[in-house]
Chains A and B, each alone.
Chain A
Amino acid sequence: MAATPKNYNANQIVLGPCDVWVNTALPAASSRIVLASNGTPDDATNTNVIHLGLTEAGVTFEYTPEIQDFTSDELTAPHLSRLISESARITGNFLQVFNWSLLEKMTVGGTKNVDTNTSTGYEELTFGGLSTISTFPVALIGKDISGTDQYWVIHLYKTYNKAGFSFTVTRRDQSKAPFEFMGLAITSRAAGDQIGNFWHMGAANAA
């Protein structure tokens, strides 16, 4: 009788920092976002992408399934379970609240206006009166802890910022605003690939 090997593997730990990219391109079925050699989205296909910039304390990814257990009068334990709903979201606090391209995405009903005139120009965000919400893909990208130039990606295909936009102005602290990118399903993609993906570059990472 042989022993079963233990799975102690430091390369399977995820350690930050990481970067959030808003409004990436959408990968085709059975495909993944293409990254440049430094782990940023490829600029040839991600022409409208916005880097979220600095965060207060990193980023949280959360996938939450809602499971329904079915029981019977005859048994003491559930005999059947089904996935009823699932939610995926990327949350945190971003610091660069003075970025109007980002604000347009963060305020789901906001519209950015720009005048590039060097003397009278401005950047502006107007809001109020729109009932549809702005949705876009979001990618969370970090470097593989193994030390190689490989990266991991959490990509939500269709999100909106559920946290809205709020920040406090105070002498004592820097500006920051919460974000909560809520993953929505794209119903016309294949079942199992409707909300997003989580993957890393390179060969399979052991057991």
Chain B
Amino acid sequence: MNPYVEKAKSMNLPPLPWTHKALGEELYCQLATQLGYFNPKAEQRDYRPALDASLFAHLIGKASKPATKE
């Protein structure tokens, strides 16, 4: 099993689309880092592509326990 999918099960995933505009900088960076996309803090500030959520789409709105902030 993909470790990021396992991690996503305990997160309160936001609805689509996962764009920077829809999520805001803080939530965008949190999802990008914790779900294995990339670390936005290590990239130039205008590189904020939409995050392809298809791997986690079945988990959106189905957190098994309250989301934790790391």
Chain A residues packing against B (C-beta within 8 Å) = 23-31, 33-34, 42, 44-48, 132, 134-137, 157-158, 186-189
Least Cβ–Cβ distance between A186 and chain B, in angstroms: 5
Interface residues of B in 13-70 (CB under 8 A from A): 16-19, 33, 35-39, 42-44, 46-47, 49-57
Contacts of A186 in B (CB 8 A): 38, 43
How many cross-chain pairs have Cβ atoms below 8 Å apart between A and B?
84
The answer to whether B50 and A45 have CB atoms under 8 Å apart is yes
Secondary structure of the B contact surface, majority rule = loop
Contacts of B54 in A (CB 8 A): 31, 34, 42, 44-45
In the bound complex, what is the Cα–Cα distance between A46 and B52 (angstroms)? 7
The answer to whether B52 and A28 have CB atoms under 8 Å apart is yes
Contact partner of A27 among B46, B52, B57, CB < 8 A?
Answer: B52
The answer to whether B43 and A188 have CB atoms under 8 Å apart is yes
In the bound complex, what is the Cα–Cα distance between A23 and B49 (angstroms)? 7
The answer to whether A47 and B17 have CB atoms under 8 Å apart is yes
Least Cβ–Cβ distance between A190 and chain B, in angstroms: 8
Question: Given A26-B37, A29-B4, A33-B52, do A47 and B46 touch, yes or no (CB 8 Å)?
Answer: no
Question: Given A42-B54, A134-B46, do A26 and B38 touch, yes or no (CB 8 Å)?
Answer: yes
Chain A's closest residue to B47 (CB) is A135
Contacts of A48 in B (CB 8 A): 19, 50
| 6 nearest A-B residue pairs (beta carbon) | A188-B39, A29-B36, A25-B52, A25-B50, A34-B54, A26-B49
Contact partner of A132 among B19, B46, B52, CB < 8 A?
Answer: B46
Determine which residue in A26, A34, A42, A44 has the highest number of CB atoms from chain B within 10 A of its CB, and name it: A26
8 extra interchain contacts, Cβ-Cβ under 8 A, other than A29-B36, A29-B37, A48-B50?
A23-B49, A25-B50, A28-B55, A30-B4, A31-B2, A44-B17, A47-B50, A188-B43
Contacts of A136 in B (CB 8 A): 47, 49
A-B contact pairs, 24 of them (CB 8 A): A24-B49, A26-B51, A28-B37, A28-B55, A29-B37, A34-B52, A44-B17, A45-B16, A45-B18, A45-B51, A45-B52, A46-B50, A47-B50, A48-B19, A132-B46, A134-B46, A136-B49, A137-B49, A157-B49, A186-B38, A186-B43, A188-B42, A188-B43, A189-B37
